[in-house]
Chain A
Amino acid sequence: MTFDSTVLILVTVIGAATPLLFAALGELVVERSGVLNLGIEGMMLVGAVTAFAVTVATASAALGILAAAIAGALMALAFGVLTLSLTANQVATGLALTIFGIGLSALVGSGFVGIPVERLPRLQIPGLSDLPVLGPLLFNHDALVYLSVLATVGVAWFLVRTRPGMILRAVGESDVSAHSIGYDVILVRYLAVLFGGVMAGLGGAFLSLSYTPMWAEEMTAGRGWIALALVVFSSWRPGRLFLGAYLFGGVTILQLYAQGSGGGFLGLPAQVLSMMPYLATIVVLAVIAGGPWKGRLDAPACLGKPFRPAT
């Protein structure tokens, strides 16, 4: 592997990790508030098709991205009404949301198959983009990639250093206590769920506008489920989530490169190489659980439990 190809590989890794990061960040906030939303895949697909359709119709990717965020939020709102206001079972509703999202996106997207669209433009930062190695690696991406990094920092700062973030965590750890202090548990959870929807929508928009600029049914190909696993993998901490998304994306890309180099990796068959991302994630998880990083592995105490105030 030459130095140039290393840079190229890393650029591809950044592209592979970004949709996972968006979706997982959203779900992290949702789960920290105590809600388990399994509908990420459906929300991502709806976001992808909306971004694509609006971009084709208005020739503006910015409008497409905005529409994707709104569409994801609307899907999440439906989930919220069912699980928060009507206290339906969160797991079942989330699964139903996924299936609904797959079907709805296929229906809406059926008229957009076969239409190519301009890929999101790469933002050139004067000065920084021309640096020899760091330029193409870090400063030659589109707006959504930078947004995902900013969102990671933003979510981390929000959860740990702001009062609303603390309220959100409190709601997730002990909803009854938070309610007795006077916080509106349902409202906090609604806002968290909406944020999750927006992020999933943005993740989907990245897929259909930048990663593979097209609409194809079920183009997320299971990334929503991987994002869900990454949230658990990260122990509900944004910093670890960032590492997890890049680890997963990185190993996925590396195994493709290993195959493509013609030599493979240690002579392992392609099917074993395909397993690598998942194996790597499990190994790291096991190491985290045992080693000196053993920290808060506990899920938010109220995760998945519906809130029914006594009053």
Chain B
Amino acid sequence: MRLHLSRRTFLAGTAAASSALALGRGVYAQEPLKVGFVYVGPIGDYGWTHGHELGRKAVVEHFGDKVATTYVENVAEGPDAERVIRQLASSGHGLVFTTSFGFMNPTVRVAKQFPQVKFEHATGYQTAPNLAVYNARFYEGRAVCGAIAGHMSQSGLCGYVASFPIPEVVMGINAFALAAQKVNPDFRVNVVWINSWYDPGKEGDAAKALIDQGADIISQHTDSPAPLQVAEQRGVHGFGQASDMAAYAPNAQLTAILDDWSEYYIQRVQAVLDDAWETHSIWYGLKEGMVKMAPYGDAVTDDARQAAEAVKEGIIAGTLHPFTGPIENQAGEVMIADGATATDDEMQKMDWWVEGVQA
């Protein structure tokens, strides 16, 4: 029998054979997984973005040649974010981390258009089959800080330098106030909104304004060490935010809330490599190690230290919840019933203040 081999068949066969070879070769020399990171601030902010960058570095160290990471910093929340995320998705990245609340809508839109790419959005609340949400229970750290503040404050007034009135910031302020009020029922929190996550000059000025009006504890939900620096200059105390700021405020810093994304990032990259990635909406805290506390400063009294440890252990053991009822808002309505604890949903939609908070 003669084989009827037309040129078309020959070409098709050659193409099939060589691509089979190429794929075969591909199995032995795996393309590294490209992982993208979109940052809202500069990696040199020594705060929020710095924490994510440490997580990225941990991924690089852990996986070596198996991953190739890209990061884009200073991406403004808004239309430009969508451009950046889309560019990462369309340039071969298999996993993209978008690390700010304001990236939520752009991430959702791009995720719809790139179903093969996996997205992880920090501090958001919308998921999709290829979009997972991850968040850290910073309010647990706030409760620990509040316990310390309640013991250590002479004036009973905390100055809080805050960014935007979104639920994450609101629940942090409330958790702090509630924990301090367990020690000192008359504890108050005055909040200054600077409408930015990061502006060292304004953050410092806000701290000055608060201290000049009687606050002797400074807390912040902004990204630079400026408020603590001012606290150090003025001889009051405060709490570091998102990284250990003791270098800037050796006497002033009582403790700091640390974000540790490394374990989570390594876990998720491994899941993609193992082809076992699934969407989820997780919210990890002190128990899972995503939130950690910096070592206590020398100024922390024994009472404060004990109270802080009790809160921390209670939260890790699950016996203490920072939002345990009865909790009323400032209009006197009961928001959390007696004996109940706030659900995740209630916290993520929190838009009311507890007594003693002037926001």
Which residues does A use to contact B, with CB under 8 Å? 5, 8-9, 12, 16, 106, 109-110, 113-116, 119, 207, 211-219, 221, 223, 252-253, 256-257, 259-263, 270-271, 274
Verify B233–A262 contact, CB threshold 8 A: no
Verify B247–A221 contact, CB threshold 8 A: no
Stretch at the interface among B1-9, B224-232, B304-312: B224-232
| Supplied contacts A106-B44, A214-B229, 7 more A-B pairs, CB within 8 Å | A9-B209, A216-B42, A216-B44, A217-B42, A221-B200, A259-B206, A262-B213
Residues of B within 8 A of A215 (CB): 44
Closest to B246 in A: A116
Verify B192–A256 contact, CB threshold 8 A: yes
Does chain A have a CB within 8 A of B353?
no
Name, among B191, B200, B203, B224, the residue most crowded by chain A CB atoms within 10 Å (CB to CB).
B200
Residues of A within 8 A of B206 (CB): 256, 259-260
Verify A218–B201 contact, CB threshold 8 A: no
Contact of A116 among B196, B203, B247 (CB under 8 A): B247
B264, chain A: closest CB distance, angstroms: 23
A177, chain B: closest CB distance, angstroms: 43
Given known pairs A5-B212, A257-B212, A260-B210, the reply for A274 and B46 (CB within 8 Å) is: no
A213 to B203, CA, bound (A): 13
Verify A253–B205 contact, CB threshold 8 A: yes
Closest to A19 in B: B201
Does chain A have a CB within 8 A of B208?
yes
Residues of A within 8 A of B201 (CB): 16, 207, 211-212, 219, 221, 223
Verify A259–B46 contact, CB threshold 8 A: no
Does chain A have a CB within 8 A of B202?
yes
B258, chain A: closest CB distance, angstroms: 14
Residues of A within 8 A of B203 (CB): 212
A-B contacts, CB under 8 A, total: 115
Q: Say what secondary structure dominates the interface of chain A.
A: helix
Contact of A256 among B165, B198, B209, B224 (CB under 8 A): B209
| Contact code string B343-359 (vs A, CB < 8 Å = 1, else 0) | 00000000000000010
A119 to B210, CA, bound (A): 21
A254, chain B: closest CB distance, angstroms: 9
A7 to B272, CA, bound (A): 59
B 167-219 contacts with A by CB, 8 A: 188, 190-196, 198-206, 208-210, 212-213, 215
Contact of A12 among B41, B200, B208 (CB under 8 A): B208
The 4 closest A-B pairs by CB, nearest first: A262-B358, A217-B42, A270-B193, A260-B209
Residues of B within 8 A of A219 (CB): 200-201
Residues of B within 8 A of A116 (CB): 229, 247-248
A73 to B22, CA, bound (A): 57
B356, chain A: closest CB distance, angstroms: 10
Contact of B199 among A115, A221, A270 (CB under 8 A): A221
B272, chain A: closest CB distance, angstroms: 29
A119 to B248, CA, bound (A): 11
B31, chain A: closest CB distance, angstroms: 30
Contact of B229 among A212, A253, A259 (CB under 8 A): A212
B183, chain A: closest CB distance, angstroms: 21
Residues of B within 8 A of A114 (CB): 46, 247
Residues of A within 8 A of B200 (CB): 212, 214, 216, 219, 221
Verify B233–A8 contact, CB threshold 8 A: no
Verify A9–B212 contact, CB threshold 8 A: yes
17 example contacts (A-B, Cβ-Cβ < 8 A) are as follows A5-B212, A9-B209, A106-B44, A110-B43, A113-B44, A116-B229, A211-B201, A212-B203, A216-B42, A218-B198, A219-B200, A221-B198, A221-B200, A221-B202, A260-B215, A263-B358, A274-B195
Contact of A211 among B195, B196, B204, B247 (CB under 8 A): B204
Verify B248–A257 contact, CB threshold 8 A: no
Residues of B within 8 A of A252 (CB): 202, 205
